[in-house]
């Protein structure tokens, strides 16, 4: 079960990274086309700036999960590595707990944020809350990943324990 969860998280990491790269490419291409059109026609494409802002925000929100999964976030591992192994594990569990609390709070506030952001965007006719949706998606993935990280030592400990032989195995 845990291996299946790990495969799912790796797949989600790859999908989120791909989305970030595609969004970056779309921003670059959109900006280049806008510059070219502005030079040729004397007027730029109105919606390119707004979509670039949305794509930028989305790339950050999808990227949160990628950065978290790869351990590229700000960490204090250098200090934690000085602790004894049991204390290291306690600190890691505490960190997972804080991460779950933070992203859980974001998810708890999601309905309120969505209801406050129903006004359409200026140049494209989408509600403002579409900008926040990838944040909520990544928050769910970070929580799942944090739970997976927190239970990993427990899974290793139980799988390392010798199993009692049943009557049929004797």
As a whole number of angstroms, the distance between CA 90 and CA 94 comes to 6
Q: What is the pLDDT of residue 170?
A: 42
pLDDT at 166: 47
**Domain-by-domain residue ranges, the chain?**
2-158
Averaged over successive runs of 10 residues, the pLDDT of the chain (170 residues) comes to 88 97 97 94 90 95 94 72 86 90 96 88 84 95 93 64 45
- For residue 19 the two structure tokens come to 């989305």
Could you write out the DSSP letters of every residue in 82-135? TS-HHHHHHHHHHHHHHHHHHHHHHHHHHHHHHHHT-SBPSSS-SBGGGGTHHH
Evaluate whether 99 touches 146 at the Cβ level (below 8 Å): yes
- Provide the pLDDT for residue 155: 61
Dist CA 2 CA 54 (whole Å): 35
- Token pair, residue 43, equals 């007027």
């Amino acid at each position: 079960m845990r291996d299946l969860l790990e495969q799912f998280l790796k797949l989600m990491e790859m999908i989120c990274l791909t989305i970030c790269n595609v969004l970056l490419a779309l921003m670059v291409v959109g900006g280049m086309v806008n510059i070219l059109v502005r030079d040729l026609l004397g007027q730029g494409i109105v919606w390119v700036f707004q979509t670039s802002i949305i794509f930028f925000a989305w790339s950050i929100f999808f990227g949160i999960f990628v950065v978290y999964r790869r351990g590229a976030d700000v960490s204090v591992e250098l200090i934690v590595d000085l602790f004894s192994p049991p204390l290291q594990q306690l600190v890691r569990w505490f960190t997972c707990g804080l991460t779950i609390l933070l992203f859980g709070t974001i998810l708890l506030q999601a309905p309120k944020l969505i209801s406050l952001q129903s006004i359409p965007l200026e140049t494209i006719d989408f509600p403002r809350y579409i900008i926040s949706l990838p944040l909520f998606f990544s928050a769910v993935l970070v929580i799942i990943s944090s739970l997976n990280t927190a239970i990993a030592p427990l899974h290793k400990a139980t799988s390392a324990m010798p199993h009692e032989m049943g009557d049929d195995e004797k």
